[in-house]
Amino acid sequence: MCKELKTLLLLGTIFLTTVSVNAQDTKLPAPDKKGGSSVMEALWQRKTERTFSDKKLSEKELANLLWAACGVNRPENEKRTNPTARNLQEVTVYAFLPDRVCLYEHKTHTLKTIAKGDHRNLLAMGQNFVLQAPVTLLMVVDMALYTKHDEVAVTMGAADAGIVSQNINLYCAAFGLNTVTRATMDRAAIAKLLGLTPDQVPILNNPVGHSK
């Protein structure tokens, strides 16, 4: 085989590999800066709902939902919609979809595919209404970012995850979506699926979808 042909084949392989890797990342539409109800109206409308229609969330709805959960709202210093202890930003959000599980990269407003297939059963644990929701957002807290793994750190990590969940609740209330905050899940299986370290702890999850 001539040197030129080998070079072309090598370049082709590199190109296809790059395309394959990039195909795993989905750049989300920019989040809206206006829309929904007022904060007071959202608080009046906020409630737990465990029923979901078959209607999927649009790409725009998913983008807005993820940004509301923990997106960057101050690009100049990469600070987010969710406050955290000492600005550690220790909460990471994963989206469990019917065909894949994705990490929400808040800095780039991108979904990165971590696993293919439907793994929502790991969150449902027998509660089948979770399987009806088109997306469930999982909050994972990285305790390694705390200098001390004491009671205060555990409390703050859980509180910070709760703030993300409340952001999700308020977004859903403002835009007429259903959701419920849950702690039920198969944490060991999820950690294995996502490749989490022992310090990365799944804390809460929110199934989200349209009402019936």
Residue 18 has what pLDDT?
39
Q: How many domains does the chain have?
A: 1
| Residue 19 clears pLDDT 80, i.e. is over it | no
10 part of a folded domain: no
Q: For residue 144, give both structure tokens.
A: 């390694």
Percent over 90 (pLDDT), the chain:
87
At 123, list the tokens: 């969150």
Residues 207 and 23: their CA atoms lie apart, in Å, by 25
Q: Do residues 159 and 192 touch, judged by C-beta distance below 8 A?
A: no
pLDDT digits (tens, 9 = 90+) for 74-124: 999 999 999 999 999 999 999 999 999 999 999 999 999 999 999 999 999
> What is the domain range of residue 77?
27-209
pTM value is 0.88
Q: What is the CATH number of the domain that holds 54?
A: 3.40.109.10
